Structure 1
């Protein structure tokens, strides 16, 4: 059975176990096995914070390498626009390993530029097609993509987990 690594900030939610169960059931409905970052052995006792972090990192990377593809929750996390940095790292690792990645978030029906302007305002426009946000003064990336071009061009973007899992199942020939 093909396995799907479940990337995303879901682990940080109070209902993390229920979120993973829902995603696992969705994968199973498509003949896939969902693998969460929290799956595996219990953390050994007595580790200091650095050793705990290393244990989690190594386990997550092992699970990611062992899976056939990645399903990534690309919701904005701890900011109004961008996905969780850990999730983005896992997406990049999967792409580098040649694994298919499907992202999902209901907000992906808007472009990154639209979301940046909604969150931070539109500021200086020194030339046509070049705009900066009003809050930080950073250039607004506007390639009419739902996320930063490095994510949008390397992954399939979907508005829901259901769409993303179905796309991965087709891609994996399940």
Structure 2
């Protein structure tokens, strides 16, 4: 039985334990064993030591898995959760197949414009209030480093949810 690591910002939800338990059960119905960031053995209660232990445990969980499935929906803004982005990159560097899902596959500049205030700029690109151009107009829905990590790993970026990715995996055989 292959093992999936579930990456995403769900750990920040008030009902995270329930959400991740349901996700793991869904994976099981498709014939996969699933691990979540909560499956690490974190025992230290001092904040910085605990944070470091969470990091190391999540790394171990990714190493144990065969596949990473990442929630690539915007988190606290227009872009993917930072921790999830790291997990995608780390999984890719370890030769894992990575799949992502999101509920909006418009091009990234359109997604950003819908989430934050921008204005026209002489370059022809929009510019945000921090002075950064929206010049990532390559047709991708998330940062190109993440999207191409997913695609180059043999995975896919799917419009939908976890179940849509699992169905894709089932159909691929």
In the alignment, structure 1 segments of 5+ residues that lack a partner are none
Instruction: Return the match for 2:65 from 52, 64, 67.
Output: 67
TM-score by length of 1: 0.86
SS at match of 2:80: coil
- Structure 1: how far apart are the matches of 2:47 and 2:20? 25
Deviations 1:41-94 (A, max 9, x none): 3x325x421111111111111011000010111121121x11110111011000
Does the aligned pair in 1 maintain the 2:40–2:54 contact within 8 Å? no
Runs of 4+ in structure 1 over 4 Å off: none
Measured at CA, do residues 29 and 37 of structure 1 come closer, stay the same or move farther in structure 2, by a change above 3 Å?
A: same
2:35 is the counterpart of 1:35: yes
Measured at CA, do residues 87 and 134 of structure 1 come closer, stay the same or move farther in structure 2, by a change above 3 Å?
A: closer
Deviation, structure 1 residue 117: 1.9
- Name the residue aligned to 1:131: 125
Deviation, structure 1 residue 169: 4.6
In the alignment, structure 2 segments of 5+ residues that lack a partner are 151-155
* CA-atom RMSD in angstroms: 1.8
